[in-house]
């Protein structure tokens, strides 16, 4: 069942003057994401990946076409669409548990329920014992775990992630990708992840959408049926990596 549908979606940003023309960021983007599917969007810098995510989040409105969540047009930002940012976007004056509890308080979840939900998600992301720490007392990977817990705790219909691990060093990034697979297998959410990394997309996804250069449109919609956890030297993974690389290199060729 489709949770998210993008139908003929286009986005043009207005220019500010004659010397600053408008920018067509996305053009006729069509795809659907099914219930509990993990879908990644891959594409070159500037092809409109963040623009797509901000429209799903409700921060920006489409110029043409529509975005439907459970068959209904997406409006303003709402709890049913949680976003995880690259820079964690945690409240630095709140502890780990207070950060995770924040959205629940805003949703008027009763205190006892809040406490048990916060505990559940602190455990899920592997941060037990760090409940009372502040973000500055945590490593980058731990901060990203807090933002994952915070995003999941409000029980969204879809989890949106914009290069969530890009600020981490290579080792931590690879660890967090594995952790994301574990968390996703337990929490089972519909996810839409934007990334530059082919390997990240292969590690995590049921589906990979490869975009063209700007104006971005969907160039390939690839179903990934390899069993998890996926090993980088698995023949299926090697083949898929090569296939996606070719699609992306082709876009460079178009650009030249
Ligand atoms: N608010 C805005 N106003 C005007 N132009 C914008 C705005 N946001 C994005 N753009 C333009 O839209 C295009 C797509 O930008 P976007 O940030 O979506 O790309 P991206 O694929 O996320 O790139 P990256 O991989 O570098 O993050 C770019 O040309 C960008 O300059
Ligand atoms: Mg971006």
**pLDDT (0 to 100) of residue 1:** 75
Around ion ligand 2, which residues have CB less than 5 A away?
50
Tell me the C-alpha distance between 48 and 248, whole Å.
15
Residue environment code for 97-108, b if the CB has 16+ CB neighbours within 10 A, otherwise e: bbbbbbbbeeee
pTM of the model: 0.94
Residue nearest to atom 24 of ligand 1 (CA): 45
Q: What pLDDT, on a 0 to 100 scale, did the predictor assign at position 88?
A: 75
245 CA to centre of ligand 2 in angstroms:
19
- How much distance in Å is there from the Cα of 199 to the middle of ligand 1? 23
- Residue 232 alpha carbon to ligand 1 centre in Å: 31
pLDDT at residue 20 in the model: 82
Query: Which residues in the chain land under pLDDT 50?
Result: none
Query: Taking a C-beta distance cutoff of 8 angstroms, is the pair 76, 54 a contact?
Result: no
Under a CB-based contact definition with an 8 Å cutoff, are residues 176 and 170 in contact? no
**pLDDT at position 212:** 95
Residues 115-159 pLDDT 10s: 999 999 999 999 999 999 999 999 999 999 999 999 999 999 999
DSSP state string for 182-239? HHHHHH--EEEEEES-HHHHHHH-SEEEEEPSSSB-EEEEEE--PPSSPPTT-HHHHH
> Which atom of ligand 1 lies nearest, measured to the CA of 51?
18
């Amino acid at each position: 069942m489709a949770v998210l549908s993008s139908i003929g979606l286009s986005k043009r940003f207005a220019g500010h003057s004659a010397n600053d023309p408008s920018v067509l960021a996305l053009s006729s983007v069509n795809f659907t994401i099914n219930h509990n599917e993990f879908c990644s969007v891959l594409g070159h810098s500037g092809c409109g990946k963040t623009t797509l995510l901000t429209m799903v989040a409700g921060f920006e409105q489409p110029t043409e076409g529509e975005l439907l969540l459970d068959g209904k047009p997406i409006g303003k930002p709402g709890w049913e669409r949680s976003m995880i940012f690259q820079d964690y976007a945690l409240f630095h004056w709140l502890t780990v548990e207070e950060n995770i509890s924040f959205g629940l308080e805003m949703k008027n979840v009763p205190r006892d329920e809040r406490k048990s939900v916060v505990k559940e998600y602190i455990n899920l992301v592997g941060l037990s014992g760090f409940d009372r720490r502040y973000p500055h007392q945590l490593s980058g990977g731990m901060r990203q775990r807090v933002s994952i817990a915070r995003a999941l705790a409000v029980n969204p219909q879809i989890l949106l992630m914009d290069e969530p691990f890009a600020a981490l060093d290579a080792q931590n990034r690879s660890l967090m990708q594995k952790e994301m697979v574990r968390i996703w297998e337990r929490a089972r959410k519909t996810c839409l992840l934007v990334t530059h990394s082919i390997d990240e997309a292969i590690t995590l996804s049921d589906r990979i959408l490869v975009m063209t250069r700007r104006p971005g449109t969907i160039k390939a919609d690839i179903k990934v049926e390899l069993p998890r956890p996926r090993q980088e030297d698995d023949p299926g993974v090697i083949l898929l990596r090569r296939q996606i690389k070719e699609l992306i290199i082709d876009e460079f060729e178009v650009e030249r």
